[in-house]
Amino acid sequence: MSNDEGDKKPATRVVTGGRRRALTGLVVNPPVWRASTHLYDTVADLEAGWGKNADGNFFYGRRGGPTQWSLAEALTELEPGAHGTLLYPSGVAAISCALLAVLKPGDVLLMTDNAYDPSRSFAEGFLKNWGVETRYYDPLAGADIAALFCDRTRAILMESPGSLTFEVSDIPAICAAAKAHKGKREIVTLLDNTWATPLFFTALDKGVDITILAATKYVVGHSDVMAGSVTSTKRHWHALRIAAQMLGQVLSPDDAYLAARGLRTMAVRLKAHQAAALDIALWLQDRPEVTSVLHPALPSCPGHDIWKRDFTGSSGLFAFVLKGDWEQARRFVDALDLFGIGYSWGGFESLAVPKSPEEYRSATRWDCDGIVIRLQIGLEDVEDLKADLERGFAAI
């Protein structure tokens, strides 16, 4: 699980990563290696097997096999400073299991107020019942987050930009504040990096301890597999690995195969998503029906300067505020033909959903003049997508 490909450019690493010959053989794609049981010749071999339940040794199917290890290694190679990557059957599983690996009852978790709503639900449902208290912070807090630290603060869950309202956080400042805190226990920083992926934001070299992807989105890229990943430094690796094993987290080899196939084209797909999304965001900015466009690459986006400093690109998900009420938003979205109405994102197809971000806030207020429409810009022709949006505007 070493990270020795660091000298190659990221676009090269998505192609070459995880393709060690000893792991995947001589074919380009790692074969789908399906197994639960490992057979031993003798009981003595079986006994020796216990000692072999180490990374990269097949012991039992729950720890995965070569197909999953290949994908995990490829993701590790995209994060400078990473020790290893664990795979999960969904992004939500990756987030919950990473939190369970670092928290214990009595701890306080700090969570960004613009977090993905199922992350909030996990905190308010499971974690609360388990005795962990979650406090929410302003995504624009930066180093000021230190004012919220107490003796019980154990972890910070960040997401930047937030995947609904797109404010960009000062991740290096938040991580530096966490490291500088001299409490009873160290504060562990976790980042949901699904929007940028390691191609547009490398997390560990900016101070993050544990970086998480809903691989369902850009890694898979084709809207046909659920998957999640957690990549960490050596310091947190053991706790994450043990928690994943105890909680029975495994990604199937078939899904790992598809995710690895998606990963090979992630750099070119992201480039296309980036260009089309920016083009459409700028076009929307000039529409009379639009109050504002929420896109980290636009100067009007809160945290835009931080995005410029820390990120190497912007992906295909952003939102805009449509003037009017929910009924008009409904008419707008219903009139779209190329944009599907649905959750998730990161696939090749465009999607649109109306959202009410104020429902998912507690530390800050979300106030806007209109309804937030979140767009996932797919790989269709940009002019066709604009014509589709025109249809939506005409319908209101």
Q: Could you list the active site residues?
A: 62, 116, 192, 217
Decide if 285 contacts 293 (C-beta within 8 A).
Answer: yes
Read off the tokens for 348.
């090749």
Q: Please give the full DSSP string across 314-353, using - where no structure is assigned.
A: --SEEEEEESS-HHHHHHHHHT-SSSEE-S---SSS-EEE
Read off the tokens for 341.
């109405």
Query: Which is nearer to ligand PLP, 94 or 290 (by Cβ)?
Result: 94
Query: Which is nearer to ligand PLP, 78 or 230 (by Cβ)?
Result: 230
Q: Indicate whether 200 belongs to the interface with ligand PLP (CB under 6 A).
A: no
# residues contacting ligand PLP (CB under 6 A): 14
Binding mask 209-238 for ligand PLP (x = CB under 6 A): -----x-xx--------x-x----------
Q: Indicate whether 91 belongs to the interface with ligand PLP (CB under 6 A).
A: yes
Q: Indicate whether 163 belongs to the interface with ligand PLP (CB under 6 A).
A: yes
Instruction: Pick the piece of the chain touching ligand PLP (CB under 6 A) from 17-25, 67-75, 86-94, 251-259.
Output: 86-94
Residues 113-142 that bind ligand PLP (CB under 6 A): 116
Distance CA 95, CA 83 (A): 18
Read off the tokens for 63.
């720890």
Which residues have a Cβ under 8 Å from the Cβ of 121 and sit 6 or more positions away?
none
User: Least distance to ligand PLP from the beta carbon of 89, Å?
Assistant: 8
| E strand or H helix that includes residue 188 | strand 188-192
Instruction: Pick the piece of the chain touching ligand PLP (CB under 6 A) from 60-68, 85-93, 139-147, 298-306.
Output: 85-93
User: Least distance to ligand PLP from the beta carbon of 247, Å?
Assistant: 15
Strands 228-232, 84-88: parallel, antiparallel or unpaired by DSSP?
antiparallel
Q: Indicate whether 3 belongs to the interface with ligand PLP (CB under 6 A).
A: no
Query: Which is nearer to ligand PLP, 285 or 344 (by Cβ)?
Result: 344
Distance CA 261, CA 85 (A): 17
User: Least distance to ligand PLP from the beta carbon of 379, Å?
Assistant: 18
User: Least distance to ligand PLP from the beta carbon of 345, Å?
Assistant: 6
| Position among 72, 74, 92, 373 found at the interface with ligand PLP (CB under 6 A) | 92
Which residues have a Cβ under 8 Å from the Cβ of 163 and sit 6 or more positions away?
116, 192, 194, 195, 317
How many Cβ atoms sit within 10 Å of the Cβ of residue 285?
14
Query: Which is nearer to ligand PLP, 103 or 225 (by Cβ)?
Result: 225
**Block residue for tokens 């992004």:** 91
Decide if 203 contacts 222 (C-beta within 8 A).
Answer: no
| Position among 170, 192, 289, 310 found at the interface with ligand PLP (CB under 6 A) | 192
Which residues contact ligand PLP by CB under 6 A?
Answer: 90-92, 116, 159, 163, 192, 194, 214, 216-217, 226, 228, 344
